[in-house]
């Protein structure tokens, strides 16, 4: 696939950038973290759909290059903010391909050391379907990362069909409720019940519970009432390029 050769060149040429979407602790409005989201504007085709690109990279062995790039960007910016007294913990998306790479945990610890960021500040987001779908093979890497102190988040939680008891046996620290449920809790009692159950389960297992796709005050207030720890979504901010993220932070503090 031609996109792959072009992607490698694009990384080298600085055409790939990382946007950041803030995460806010409930019930207040303190900014406690941000999710790193890759962006690539192709010189001819324009903005490339990240989800589609991730699928292509998964299939071609370039996921490690992407994750390395995003991770270093996130940790470099985290260090800069720490030096300014701002404690904003970055979250980086990782794919099952990363977890199956033998050198992956080592790559993470080297990056943390290079940027002098404590492991506890980094969250890795792994989609529910990939964690559970390949648990046999991904568990060793998850264990090593968890031992290092890195926080592991089960992303898009609720979309897969994992048994809830399985969550207890995984070395994870956070569940991130999928935006498809979150958006609908305002109008759909069934979705409200699902989200309440996930929050209760997460809390009783001692996990941090994050909700993504929060777009309205009503949804945020319902989540706060149910005991959700952290929210992320357009209500707070869209993903922003680093300059806009900085400017946005200034308006908040
Ligand atoms: O902003 P949004 O359109 O950015 O992202 C779409 C999807 O692409 C999301 O599911 C997100 O997790 C995924 N994604 C964005 N950036 C990355 C990345 O750096 N690595 C991986 N694995 N997925 C990413
Ligand atoms: O879970 P993933 O890693 O799939 O989630 C990130 C994706 O969600 C990105 O595409 C991001 O732009 C998108 N996103 C972030 N906040 C919101 C929101 O409030 N509503 C919707 N619909 N999408 C959002
Ligand atoms: Na994510
Ligand atoms: Mn998600």
CATH of the domain at 178: 3.20.20.450
Contact 71, 58 (CB under 8 A): no
The pLDDT assigned to 166 comes to 79
Which ligand 1 atom sits nearest the alpha carbon of residue 69? Answer: 19
Mean pLDDT of the chain: 94
Contact 214, 236 (CB under 8 A): yes
SS (H, E, C) 149-166: CCEEEEEEECCCCCCHHH
Q: How many domains does the chain have?
A: 1
Q: Say if 206 falls within a structural domain.
A: yes
pTM (predicted TM-score): 0.96
Q: How many A from CA of 214 to the centre of ligand 4?
A: 12
Q: Say if 162 falls within a structural domain.
A: yes
Ligand nearest, relative to CA of residue 220:
2
Q: Say if 2 falls within a structural domain.
A: no
Q: How many A from CA of 191 to the centre of ligand 2?
A: 18
Q: Which domain holds residue 108?
A: 22-34+61-240
The pLDDT assigned to 198 comes to 94
Q: Say if 173 falls within a structural domain.
A: yes
Q: Say if 51 falls within a structural domain.
A: no
Is residue 161 pLDDT above 80, yes or no?
Answer: no
Q: Mean pLDDT over residues 152-166, rounded?
A: 83
Q: Say if 10 falls within a structural domain.
A: no
For ligand 1, say whether the CB of 27 is within 6 Å of any of its atoms.
no
Which ligand 2 atom sits nearest the alpha carbon of residue 232? Answer: 16
114 or 60, greater pLDDT:
114
Is residue 164 pLDDT above 80, yes or no?
Answer: no
Q: Say if 17 falls within a structural domain.
A: no
Q: How many A from CA of 92 to the centre of ligand 1?
A: 9
pLDDT category, 120, cuts 50, 70, 90?
very high
Strands (E), the chain: 16-25, 31-42, 46-47, 89-93, 123-127, 151-157, 174-177, 208-211, 230-231
% of the chain residues with pLDDT over 70: 98
The pLDDT assigned to 43 comes to 86
């Amino acid at each position: 696939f031609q996109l792959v050769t072009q992607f490698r060149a694009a990384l080298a040429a600085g055409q790939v950038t990382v946007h950041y979407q803030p995460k806010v602790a409930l019930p207040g409005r303190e900014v406690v973290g941000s999710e790193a989201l890759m962006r690539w504007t192709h010189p001819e085709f324009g903005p490339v759909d990240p989800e589609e690109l991730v699928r292509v990279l998964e299939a071609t062995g370039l996921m490690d290059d992407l994750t390395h790039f995003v991770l270093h960007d996130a940790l470099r910016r985290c260090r800069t903010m720490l030096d300014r007294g701002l404690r904003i913990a970055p979250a980086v998306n990782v794919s099952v391909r990363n977890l199956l790479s033998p050198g992956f945990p080592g790559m993470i610890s080297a990056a943390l050391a290079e940027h002098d960021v404590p492991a506890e500040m980094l969250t890795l987001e792994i989609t529910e379907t990939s964690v559970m779908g390949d648990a046999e093979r991904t568990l060793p890497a998850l264990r090593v990362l968890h031992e290092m102190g890195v926080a592991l988040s089960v992303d898009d939680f609720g979309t897969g069909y994992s048994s809830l008891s399985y969550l207890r046996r995984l070395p994870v620290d956070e569940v991130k409720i999928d935006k498809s449920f979150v958006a609908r809790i305002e109008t759909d009692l069934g979705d409200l019940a699902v989200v309440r159950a996930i929050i209760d389960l997460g809390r009783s297992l001692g996990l941090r519970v994050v909700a993504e796709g929060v777009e309205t005050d009503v949804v945020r207030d319902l989540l706060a009432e149910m005991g959700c720890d952290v929210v992320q979504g357009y209500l707070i901010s869209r993903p922003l390029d680093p300059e806009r993220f900085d400017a946005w932070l200034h308006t908040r503090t």
